[in-house]
Amino acid sequence: MTRFRYDINALRSVAVISVLLFHLNVPYFSGGFIGVDIFFVISGYLMTRIIFDSIEKNDFSLLKFWTNRIQRIVPALLLLTLVITIAGYFCYLPNEYNVNEKNATSSLLFYSNISYWKNISYFEPASENNIFLHTWSLSVECQFYLLYPVVIWLLFRLLKKRQYVFVVLGIATLLLCGLAIFWTLRSANTSFYLLHTRAWELLAGGLALAVERKFNVQNKWALMLCCTAIVLSIVFLNDSVLWPGVYTLVPVIATIGILILNRNSNCILQNNAIQLTGRISYSLYLWHWPLIVFARYMGYPFHAITVIGIIVLSFLFAWLSYRFIESLKFKSGIPLIAALAVLAVATSMLSSFSPAYKARISDMANYKTKHDSAIKAQFSTGCCFVETDGPGEFNKFIKRDCLKIDSTQKNILLIGDSHAASLSASFKEQFAGHHIHLLQATASSAFPFIPKNTGADFHHQLYQYIYDDFLVKNKKHIDGVILCGSWYKYPEQEVVEPLLQATRYLKTLGIPVVIIGQTNIYTLQLPTIIARGMEHNTDLTAIFTVKQAGAYNEFLKQKLQPYYIDVYYPKAIPPVSPNADPFVFDRSHLSRYGADLVVKKIVADPIFTDQFRNSYFKHGTN
């Protein structure tokens, strides 16, 4: 009879805790994602032991093996999916709920790794909202369990002896490891998610079994070295490392070493807390990520209290799942397969279901998509606003329309990025009543600085032309310049001095200038935030506001006097318009409704009236 392995349970504990704290961004756990790799090696070791022992006892059955795997994996997964499906119906917006249920289906049918490979990178910020993201590793394991026993059984039939089978597995492990490293360099996302570049880690666990049974190694210093390697990997690795790759060998080999050494009589390993965490590790892995995603979705700030709360709830839900679900015994796997099929069909149907009473909420959440053409017109996209950068883009900027001097009116030039472009239509409308013609030179992600050197990209070409050519030649006809951008995404030192340099340069040309201040930024798209608030009859905008943007605005206001016009809303943004237009249509870009409000705020500001008094008020009544 195989004795209980306290060391394996302790490894499970380390693996799941490292993943949990990595997902919570706890310091010194930047490499916590290696916990999944530890799980892969452990699974490979245990599955190989089960298959080899049963084959050598003439007791091997594919059906029995697969049934045991189903009984181990499916019940807790069914519970998790059912809870998310029911809770999500009441808490999530229709389109987001549909995505959740689509991902639920892929998780239940164990192809979520393939689905995510096609759509999203594990380490991208967008993946943070995928409540089933963590099931990719479960899908990899289940795909492995489907094929591995068949391969081992065939190898035994062909080669007869255990040692020959292990030799083939060793060769396969080395080849697949090399393939994974090569493939990661070629396509990191593919290598991260798919079975053919992850199988070597599971096979490596099988090699640990071979070495353990061949050599009885007992060395506490070797054990300490392996443990140290895992700890160092957790502390010093981070998500910028190509994974799986050469560095993946460190935790994999360290885990193999611990399995081979088989040191069970250790008071630390047998600690009750460590062993309990190891026992509930599967349910803990399942529950921790949905709790993190849901907390983020509901707008909870991730300070210490939130992190501790998530950890406590993760352990509570994991223990309940382990105690009342994982402990259930089934005589066969048929009821579980039936339940799995029913829930998979249900989630698939719900992935396209949208309750009629949520139609208004859904329209708000999808505001940007529904108003795409109006937004393009607002920005003057494809004419005076260029969205992309690359060869030939400068030629797409239509100078004759965007920089045409109107001798019958005053001329004010708007320079900046997409946030400047969002104001262009509102400025044109506002200026029309004052006989002012707006000129526009805007491009996506283009900071309106004076280029220090010649560059081939569109931004350099555009601003070199504006500052070195156009403004110099037309300084007598330009009655003012408006500089605008989303300053917050740049370091402070890269904003203040370049903007002051631009104002000094324009002043030498005799051209008045104002700088439009930082606008509000949100952690999620504002229409989504508003839609969630509509569903629960509350205002959530303050929760999802990027507070640092407000502080940044105050800093710039002090440094850029007397040119800086403060347009930031520190307490509450204006309400949705009567036509159901939000103030911002994504995380930071003003809608036409928002731009109209901001432009009115700009032209009423004393800084604007002082700088442009000779142009804006000459024909007006103000």
Q: Does the residue 308 lie in any domain?
A: yes
Q: Using alpha carbons, list the distances in angstroms from residue 278 to 87, 268, 363, 381, 597.
A: 28, 13, 46, 56, 57
Q: Are residues 427 and 312 in the same domain?
A: no
Angle among Cα 565, 495, 564 to the nearest 5 degrees reads 10
Helix 34-56 vs helix 6-23: crossing angle, to nearest 10:
150
Q: Of 354, 388, 413, which residue sits at a domain end?
A: 354
Beta carbons within 8 Å of 522's beta carbon, 6+ residues apart: 529, 541, 544, 545, 546, 584, 587, 588
Res 619: pLDDT: 47
Q: Are residues 388 and 516 in the same domain?
A: yes
Identity of the amino acid at 245? G
Q: Are residues 342 and 437 in the same domain?
A: no
396 has a pLDDT exceeding 70:
no
555 has a pLDDT exceeding 50:
yes
> Which of the listed ranges 206-210, 275-279, 577-581 does the model predict with the highest average pLDDT?
275-279
Q: Of 319, 339, 354, which residue sits at a domain end?
A: 354
Please give the tally of structural domains in the chain. 2
Q: Does the residue 405 lie in any domain?
A: yes
Res 620: pLDDT: 47
Q: Does the residue 543 lie in any domain?
A: no
Q: Are residues 432 and 348 in the same domain?
A: no
Provide, rounded to the nearest whole percent, the portion of the chain with pLDDT above 90.
66
Q: Of 303, 322, 354, which residue sits at a domain end?
A: 354
Q: Are residues 311 and 455 in the same domain?
A: no
Q: Does the residue 176 lie in any domain?
A: yes
pTM score? 0.78
Q: Does the residue 44 lie in any domain?
A: yes
> Is it true that the peptide bond before 562 is cis, omega within 30 degrees of 0?
yes
- Which residue range forms the structural domain that includes residue 400? 378-521+553-576+591-616
Q: Are residues 123 and 211 in the same domain?
A: yes
CA 401 to chain CA centroid, nearest Å: 40
Q: Are residues 255 and 397 in the same domain?
A: no
579 and 493 in contact (C-beta within 8 Å)?
no
Residue 506 belongs to domain with CATH number:
3.40.50.2300
DSSP output for 584-619: BSSSS-B-HHHHHHHHHHHHTSHHHHHHTHHHHTTS
d(CA 293, CA 128): 7
Selected residue with higher pLDDT from 394 and 364: 364
d(CA 120, CA 117): 6
Average pLDDT across the chain, whole number:
90
Q: Does the residue 583 lie in any domain?
A: no
Q: Using alpha carbons, list the distances in angstroms from residue 57 to 53, 68, 146.
A: 6, 18, 21
Banded pLDDT at 249 (limits 50, 70, 90): very high
Q: Are residues 41 and 171 in the same domain?
A: yes
259-268, 287-296, 496-505: least confident range: 259-268
Q: Are residues 327 and 401 in the same domain?
A: no
pLDDT digits (tens, 9 = 90+) for 104-128: 999 999 999 999 998 877 767 667 8
Q: Are residues 205 and 268 in the same domain?
A: yes
pLDDT digits (tens, 9 = 90+) for 421-476: 999 999 999 998 888 999 999 988 888 888 776 555 666 778 888 999 999 999 99
Q: What is the mean pLDDT of residues 171-199?
A: 94
289 has a pLDDT exceeding 90:
yes
pLDDT digits (tens, 9 = 90+) for 306-354: 999 999 999 999 999 999 999 988 888 899 999 999 999 999 999 988 7
- For residue 380, how many other CB atoms are within 10 A of its CB? 21
Banded pLDDT at 395 (limits 50, 70, 90): low
Q: Does the residue 330 lie in any domain?
A: yes
Q: Are residues 347 and 447 in the same domain?
A: no
Q: Does the residue 584 lie in any domain?
A: no
Q: Are residues 85 and 222 in the same domain?
A: yes
